[in-house]
């Protein structure tokens, strides 16, 4: 799905990009980056298409998604955290 199609689907689902990002717990900046790429990933495309279908069927997709209790992903790094003195001593 192109980014333009994605934006049209958001309009059909009657949700803004910022509200969509908050609902699915993905940063708005991350979603905006797909504009440069021209396409959105398949899971995002499927989500927005389902939201449109649910809206047309009279189903409140916001409630359905909220009930999933999604958690936002956070960058934890790849093991580059500084070790404390105590951790360094036990590694030796």
d(CA 2, CA 73): 24
The answer to whether 10 and 17 are in contact (CB under 8 A) is: yes
Q: Per-residue confidence at 89, pLDDT binned at 50, 70, 90? A: low
Q: Per-residue confidence at 75, pLDDT binned at 50, 70, 90? A: confident
Q: Note the pTM of the prediction, 2 decimals.
A: 0.75
3-state secondary structure the chain: CEHHHHHHHHHHCCCCHHHHHHHHCCCHHHHHHHHHHCECCHHHHHHHHHHHHHHHCCCCHHHHHHCCCCCCCCCCCCCCCCCCHHHHHHHC
| Tens of pLDDT, residues 11-60 | 999 999 999 999 999 999 999 999 999 999 999 999 999 999 999 999 99
């Amino acid at each position: 799905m192109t980014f333009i199609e994605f934006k049209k689907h958001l309009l059909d689902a009657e949700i803004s990009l910022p509200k969509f990002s908050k609902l699915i717990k993905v940063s708005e900046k991350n979603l905006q980056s797909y504009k440069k790429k021209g396409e959105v990933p398949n899971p995002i495309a499927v989500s927005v298409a389902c939201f449109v279908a649910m809206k047309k069927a009279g189903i409140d997709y916001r409630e359905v998604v909220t009930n999933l209790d999604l958690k936002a992903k956070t960058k934890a790094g790849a093991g580059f955290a500084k070790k404390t003195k105590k951790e360094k001593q036990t590694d030796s």
